[in-house]
Amino acid sequence: MEAVLPHLKQSLSLALKHFFPLAANIVFPPQPNKPHVLFDADSSSISFTVAESTADFNYLVSDSPRTVSDFDLFVPKIPPARILDDGTRLFPLLSIQATVIPNSGFSICIRYHHGICDGKTLQHFLRSWASECKKLISTNQEEEQQHYPLPIFNNGSTIPDQNGVGLCFLNFLWKWAPALLKMADGSGSEFNQIHNTVHVEATFKVTKSYADKLKQLISLKYYDGSGKIRGELDDEELYNFTFVADCRGRFEFSSVPATYFGNCLAPVYATLKRKEIVGENGIVEAAKAIRNKIKELEKNGVLKGAERWMLEAIEKTTTKHNAMVAGSPKFDVYERDFGWGTPKKSDVLSNPGSVLISLSESKDKNLGGIEVGVGLEKTQMNNFIQTFDQTLKIL
């Protein structure tokens, strides 16, 4: 409380000087005015909460299934929107909570509004914050400190809007404004209050050796023609696998730098019928569907069909069966050092009722591979663990 937290807050201020839009507000004015980001150097700020908990630290950082509601007290609230006299809403964008668990450790939990930036930008900010904090804590002034490049902001020409996609997005926002604003106004609510079922999170380590064997298995079945579905399954329900492609470096007309601040993602949806997934070679069918979507993206360009992105997002992600992916093994979350070593655990929490798969690099560099976080209802999780263990034994 006396040594670490002051450094955390001071270094956060230093990092925010460069990542200042995170302390801004998204302004949603009445039509026909456009939503925009507003930063005021005199009044813009973020919510930083300090709390204390008696929770079991070892349980929280374990890989085994943990009840999502157990994290409620660690997750910060984003303050509700302010509503001006003319109906304009101002939405805060970032909230941070540091929670101390006496004699064990502490957590830093970040909750942010995706309207301001994507995961890559957020990780860039967190690495910069960690670097600033490490400088303050270090007793060896000659120790080489890592300096992270500054963010680059869109000057209007970084990503030119050649096809009028911006207007399509704007028309969508105005059409769906009442529903979207209602959802956004609830951002300060409890994280895990909307479902009564027990929702759990678990982490599965996929070593490089395991991943290589899995690729070989898929490749063999794909090319030897044995990838046919056997059995009569008449379940025609569609299942979506939703992920995003980082578009930095993918634009044919513009080079977007790796340090671009904002959202630079293209949504990708791989869809299969249930009978295809639960068939004998369901894993091959799933791999093919994902591969084909990535090939489409590379062939057609990242902005192909962008005018329908907003509508597709509602259609796909609100269906009965949808799994979403968050994070990336390229984010290097276990390299983040605030001055006291790397984290024991990094998690992405999922909303109850949804299926979220989070990816990060493996903390164990000797084993390589990735860590896969999975959020499911408790009974589903038990079944998933059983299937995962069986697959490990086969490989």
pLDDT over threshold 90, residue 371: yes
Q: Average the pLDDT over 149-156 and give the result.
A: 83
Confidence of residue 232 (pLDDT cuts 50, 70, 90): very low
**Is the pLDDT at 229 greater than 70, yes or no?**
no
At 311 the pLDDT is 85
> Among all chains, which residue has been given the structure tokens 């926002």?
173
Residue 327 has pLDDT above 70, yes or no: yes
pLDDT reading at 121 higher than 70: yes
* 29-49 average pLDDT score: 91
Q: Are 163 and 339 in contact (CB under 8 A)?
A: no
Number of H helices, E strands in the chain: 9, 14
- Residue 194 clears pLDDT 60, i.e. is over it: no
Domain covering 199-394: architecture: 2-Layer Sandwich (3.30)
DSSP 3-state of 156: coil
Tell me, which fold does domain 4-138+164-185 have in CATH?
Answer: Chloramphenicol Acetyltransferase (3.30.559)
- What is the percent of the chain with per-residue pLDDT over 70, rounded to a whole number? 89
Structure tokens at 379: 């009974």
Backbone angles phi, psi at 239, to 5 degrees: -120, 130
186 pLDDT more than 60: no
Mean pLDDT of 13-35: 94
pLDDT of residue 146: 61
**pLDDT tens per residue, range 330-354:** 999 999 999 989 999 999 987 776 7
CA atoms of 347 and 326, how far apart (whole Å): 10
Residue 3 per-residue DSSP state: S
CA distance 323 to 269: 10
Left if phi > 0, otherwise alpha if psi is -120 to 50, otherwise beta: which for 179?
Answer: alpha
Q: Is the pLDDT of residue 233 over 50?
A: no
135 HSE (CA, 13 A, CB side): 16
Q: What is the pLDDT, as a whole number, of residue 253?
A: 60
Residue carrying structure tokens 């890559």: 120
pLDDT, position 318: 73
pTM of the model: 0.89
CA nearest to 314, candidates 199, 175, 116:
175
Spatial CA neighbour of 165 closest among 311, 298, 314, 292: 311
Mean pLDDT of the chain: 86
What is the predicted pLDDT for the residue at 314? 82
Structural domain spans, the chain: 4-138+164-185, 199-394
Q: Is the pLDDT confidence value at 223 over 70?
A: no
Say what the pLDDT of residue 184 is: 66
* pLDDT score of 366 more than 60: yes
Question: Matching CATH topology for 4-138+164-185 and 199-394?
Answer: yes
pLDDT band at 99 (very low <50, low <70, confident <90, very high): very high
- DSSP one-letter code for 186: T
CB 80 within 8 A of CB 19: no
Q: Which of 260, 26, 284 is nearest to 150 (CA)?
A: 260
Backbone angles phi, psi at 202, to 5 degrees: -140, 160
DSSP 81: P
Residue 73, token pair as written in the block = 């007290």
- Which residue type occupies 202? A
Angle between helices 282-300 and 208-223 (to 10 degrees): 90
Q: What is the pLDDT of residues 260-315, one digit of tens each?
A: 999 999 999 999 998 898 877 888 999 999 999 999 988 888 888 888 898 888 88
Tell me if 41 sits within 8 A of 171, measured CB to CB: no
Q: Exposed, middle or buried, 184 (CB in 10 Å: 0-12/13-18/19+)? A: middle
What type of residue sits at position 215?
K
- 359 DSSP β-pair partners: 327, 372
pLDDT score recorded for residue 192: 41
Confidence class for position 367, pLDDT limits 50, 70, 90: confident
